[in-house]
């Protein structure tokens, strides 16, 4: 199956700092999503981004499918950004299995 590795595994930021999270995957994918898991376990869909670049407020993401990686940018971080960030990928077709990465645990301090 597809291997999905994320880096860094842990990250501590001071409020207001910027950060870049990386997701590498081992095979071609037609589907990639970034999620934020809050302290209650809920997965918040941040981006559906199998290719290209998207922005939503302080967050943006870029996927370079041909080089098998995706980046999530967080600017001007806030304490509410704390949690675990997962990328997840799937092969062709909307009913393909979604494989999750190893996650990046982010803590934003005052």
Partner 1 sequence: GAVVSQHPSRVICKSGTSVKIECRSLDFQATTMFWYRQFPKQSLMLMATSNEGSKATYEQGVEKDKFLINHASLTLSTLTVTSAHPEDSSFYICSAPDRDYGYTFGSGTRLTVV
Residues that bind partner 1 (CB under 8 A): 31, 33, 35, 40-43, 45, 48, 86, 88, 90, 94-95, 97-103
For residues 75 and 92, give the distance between their C-alpha atoms in angstroms, rounded to a whole number.
32
Instruction: Indicate if the alpha-carbon torsion angle 37, 19, 100, 33 is positive or negative.
Output: positive
Q: How far is the CB of 16 from partner 1 (least distance, A)?
A: 27
Q: How far is the CB of 57 from partner 1 (least distance, A)?
A: 16
Cβ distance to partner 1 smaller for residue 33 or 70: 33
Q: How many helices (H) and strands (E) does the chain have?
A: 0, 11
Cβ distance to partner 1 smaller for residue 6 or 77: 6
Q: How far is the CB of 76 from partner 1 (least distance, A)?
A: 25
Q: Which string of b and e fits 79-99 if b means at least 16 CB within 10 Å?
A: eebbbbbbbbbbeeeeeeeeb
Cβ distance to partner 1 smaller for residue 31 or 62: 31
């Amino acid at each position: 199956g597809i291997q999905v590795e994320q880096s860094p595994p842990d990250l501590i930021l001071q409020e207001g700092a910027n950060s870049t999270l990386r997701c590498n995957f081992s095979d071609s994918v037609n589907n990639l999503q970034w999620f934020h898991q809050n302290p209650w376990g809920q997965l918040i869909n941040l981006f559906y981004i199998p290719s290209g670049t998207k922005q939503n407020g302080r967050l943006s993401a870029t996927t370079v499918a041909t080089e098998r990686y995706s980046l999530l940018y967080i600017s001007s971080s806030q304490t509410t950004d704390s949690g675990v960030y997962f990328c997840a990928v799937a092969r062709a077709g909307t009913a393909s299995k979604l494989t999750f990465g190893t996650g990046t645990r982010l803590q934003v301090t005052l």
